[in-house]
Amino acid sequence: MNEPSVSRSEKLRGIFGRALARLRHGLPFGSGVLAAVLAFIIYNLVFIQPNQLSIDDVNNSVSSAMASATPPAAFSANVYQIIQPSLVLIEVEEEHQNAKTDHGLGSGVVVDSFGNILTSLHVVKGATNIKVTFADGFESAAQIVVEQPENDIAVIQALDTPLVLAPAVLGNPNSMRVGDEAFVVGNPFGLYSSMSAGVISGFDRVFKMPNSKTAIHGMIQVDAAINPGNSGGPLLNRDGYVIGIVTGIVNPTEENFFVGIGFAVPIMTAVSGMGSPPY
């Protein structure tokens, strides 16, 4: 029995349908406009001037559109854009009786519209002067308003703030799993607004503060690079939400650089000292 013949119009309709399917599955969401324009062109060529369109025409058009499609940005790029306006550089001076002055630096993150800044207590503890620099370059003296020695967390407030504040969005570390992406943004070695990326390595860790008997429980372990100057900065998930405050590193040698094990205080623990309820 002879198979029913298929008209050229029906063949072209099939080509049109397959082309649209390739567009829907191949192009990122942000290229929807391009897909719509190309579909409109194909539709007009197929149904208005069917004799001028071939299978090669369709394949070449789709291939050209796919080749020019812009891939979506990496999660890390999006995270950086989200958190950077909330990042704070912290510089401290500690004056001693022998007229010697020690200098230090760290990181912080704006967490509410009042300008409260979360950081690590060891960054600002004992400081005679604290200066903060916001993402727009605005500088101000600051003071400690809350201390949590048991968690190495401090809340500081700038004596003056920019006209526009950009508080970070707080996330829930309890929704995270080992292996999930983790991002650290801070000021390692004074390199302002630097980013590192890795994964969550573990939960509920115990971290002993250097030169101290204080042991902090319930820490988040990460392998994103952490170095001096990162302390007090935010640990973020792939959505750019703050899930922790970076505290310190473990290094079995006497050197003060990262070997792959860093710790952060879960954000719900950090904000509890501000009167914010855990979640």
> Which alpha helices (H) appear in the chain, and where do they start and end?
8-26, 32-47, 55-68, 75-83, 121-124, 267-272
State which amino acid sits at residue 7: S
Q: Which two tokens stand for residue 208?
A: 């002993």
Report d(CA 9, CA 85) in Å as an integer: 56
Report d(CA 279, CA 272) in Å as an integer: 10
Q: Which string of b and e fits 143-171 if b means at least 16 CB within 10 Å?
A: eeeebbeebbbbbbbbeebbeebbbbebb
231 among known catalytic residues: yes
Beta bridge partners of 106: 90
Task: Give the three-state DSSP class for 95.
Answer: strand
DSSP 2: P
Which residue, among 106, 161, 117, has the nearest Cα to 136 in the 3D structure? 161
Which residue out of 86, 107, 152, 194 is catalytically annotated? Answer: 152
Report d(CA 222, CA 225) in Å as an integer: 8
152 among known catalytic residues: yes
Which residue out of 31, 120, 122, 194 is catalytically annotated? Answer: 122
Catalytic machinery residues: 122, 152, 231
